[in-house]
Structures are given as C-alpha cells and as structure tokens.
Amino acid sequence: MPSIDQIARQYRSLCLTAIAEHLPTLLGQAETHESSYLQFAESLVEHEQRQRNAKRIEQNRKRAGFPLLKSLEEFDYRFQTTISKREVNSLLDFGFIDNRDNVVFIGPPGVGKTHLAIGIGLKAIDAGYKVSFNTALGLMEVLELAELKGELKKKINQLLKFDVLIIDELGYLPMNKQGMHNLFQLINALYEYRSVILTTNKEFTNWGEFFIDDNVAVPIVDRIIHHSHIFMLGGESYRLKSKLNQAS
C-alpha cells in the first residue's frame, strides 16, 4: 500500500501543491463525511482551485502597488454624502473594465477619492482583474526615467498588461513639457484598450493649470472623459475631521 507521503509527492510532481500539502486533512474530511469516490475527487479539485485563486489574488494585490489597503466596506458614506453606496456598487459588476471605460473621482483633498479608487481596485483584483496603482507624480517619474533610457514604449507596454491603471492625485503639481508628452503617450495607448481610475482635485476645465499647455490638456481630457463614469465629490476633509476630533 502506498503511503500518504508517496501520494502527496505524486500530486506535487503534477504541480497540484495544495492537494499535496493538505492531503491528510482532505482524506480525514472524506472519511468523516463518508464521501463517495466522486465527491472526494470533486473536493480535491475544488480545494486546489480555491488555494490557487487565493494565491493569485494575494500576488496581484502585491503587484498592484497599493500604498495601503482601504476596503469599500470601511468607506463612511455618512460623512461623504456627495456619492452614494449604490453609485459605487454599480461599478462592481466591472462592466466598466470589460467595456474599457474610465472612472474619474473629482474633488478637494481628503474627501475619500483615493479610498474609493483603492477599494474598487481591490474588488477588481478579487474578481480576477489585474490592477496597477500609481500616484501621478510617481507615474511621471517612472515614465521620465524610461524615456531617458529610450524605453518609454517598453514601459507603456508593461502598463498595458494591467486591466486597470489607477492614477492618483493628478493635478496637485504642475508638469514639465516632457512629463506632459509622456503622459499623453500613456493615455493615448490606454484609450479604448484599458480602463483608468483617476483621482484629481481639479475639474477638467482647469486642467490647463497643471498641464500648462491646453494643446496637451485638451486631447488628454478628451480621451479620459470619453466612455467614462465621472463622480464629483465635495464636503470636508476626512483627515481634517480626524485631527479636529483628536484635538477636541
């Protein structure tokens, strides 16, 4: 009679590592529930699939580069009343990703734009999509470095491997001419091919303030707002509220 360790090694040789690692437990559960051969076979496959899915989600969360994990369940709709839970939940069938649409959150600092972007990004990863999070400043630095190395196209192609690109805090700092050019190249490549979740503190009519050149701002805005879901957020800053509460 073969031993459990021998059978586990055979499963591992077939890259069925989750089954191999938990084979004694799975056998014990089958005996306890008096499972049929077919039920046991099914339980092995389901266990392997669950473990692989969990590992894939964990890897994609790390690869996304989130600065912190902010779930939608933590979002306080009682404080931020300019957007409703229903509006946010309407995005969670991820039709906007499948249709290559964009999502834009516009509002002053501290009102929850980044929280919503990260929360939706996490849900998208759980649903099987690949997400990349970048601050606008960090993204500009990455693109500029790639451009200096003559690898701008290569870097853009790497970003195109993600289903969703989150660009956070666009508009907080002005851009130089090369930064504007690089961002246009990226947005143009993403247009109708991949989805963008964008947070910004400025309405589209004011984008000339940080792009400096309206000739660049207009085509970028045009590509972003075409096929987009736009949400205007207002109210007081969460962070300011938290500090005031701590001081009182």
Kindly report, residue by residue over 75-131, the tens digit of the pLDDT.
Answer: 999 888 999 999 999 999 999 999 999 999 999 998 999 999 999 999 999 999 999
By the 8 A CB rule, do 132 and 162 touch?
Answer: yes
**Secondary element (H or E) of residue 194:** none
Closest CA to 69 of 139, 141, 123, 142: 123
Count of domains in the chain?
2
Same domain, 86 and 208: yes
pLDDT tens track for 146-157: 999 999 999 999
Q: What is the pLDDT of residues 179-207, one digit of tens each?
A: 889 999 999 999 999 999 999 998 888 88
- If asked whether residues 213 and 110 sit together in one domain, one would say yes
CATH code, 108: 3.40.50.300
Same-domain check for residues 223 and 242: yes
The boundaries of the domain holding residue 55 are 4-61
Residues 81 and 161 placed together within one structural domain of the fold: yes
8 Å CB contact between 237 and 109: yes
Same domain, 90 and 162: yes
| 48 touches 18 (CB < 8 A) | yes
CA torsion sign for 62, 55, 25, 19 is: negative
Residues 78 and 57 in one domain: no
For residue 139, give both structure tokens. 């993204």
- 110 and 137 part of one domain: yes
Classify residue 66: in a domain, yes or no. no
Check pLDDT > 50 for residue 244: no
Q: Are residues 116 and 13 in the same domain?
A: no
Q: Is residue 29 part of a domain?
A: yes
Residues 25 and 128 in one domain: no
* Residue 67 included in any domain: no
Same domain membership, residue 132 and residue 20:
no
Q: Are residues 141 and 56 in the same domain?
A: no
* pLDDT exceeds cutoff 90 at 212: no
181 neighbors 216 (Cβ within 8 angstroms): yes
Does residue 100 sit in the same domain as residue 122? yes
